[in-house]
Amino acid sequence: MAAKIDNLIRDIKALLPTPISEENVDADVRLIGGDPGEVVALVSEDEVIFSQFALEWDGPHTPVIRPLPIATIQWKNLLKPERQRFFTSLVELIVQRRRKLYRKCQYCKDLTPPEWLHNDQTCQGCAERHLGVVH
């Protein structure tokens, strides 16, 4: 069974935006694709949970990843070709959803993910530099 999960993880990694981080969460493997994060795949022996990356702040200096689940797939029931097509579509959908949340900073003009925004028009760095905000 471990070989099947290893192959599944390898196949999912090939679909995710790079760079990809991998970590063990209890008995499961969590893959996060993109920097900043875009897609999260939590792989277990029976299922894969595909989520949109989301981050919340537990205090001013403590980011906590709190993925937004999009789909739970019982991967053992799918043949590899249909699984690949399905997973590819899910990853593309999640990347599009995530990137729609990014905003262009009015000062530096960088496209910024929501967790690094001070408000809808200003990134946290520019809020500190131009508005005197202390984070």
Q: Which residues pair with 73 in a beta bridge?
A: 48
Distance CA 39, CA 62 (A): 20
- Beta strands in the chain, from DSSP E residues, in sequence order: 20-25, 28-33, 39-43, 48-52, 55-57, 63-65, 68-73, 103-104, 111-112, 117-119, 122-123
The answer on pLDDT for 1 being more than 70 is: no
**pLDDT tens digits along 39-70:** 999 999 999 999 999 998 887 788 899 999 99
Quote the radius of gyration of the chain (alpha carbons, Å). 17
Using an 8 Å Cβ cutoff, are 45 and 69 in contact?
no
Identify the residue with better confidence: 101 or 60: 101
What's the mean pLDDT when you consider all of the chain? 93
**pLDDT tens digits along 16-46:** 999 999 999 888 999 999 999 999 999 999 9
CB within 8 A of 129, min separation 6: which ones?
107
The answer on pLDDT for 3 being more than 90 is: no
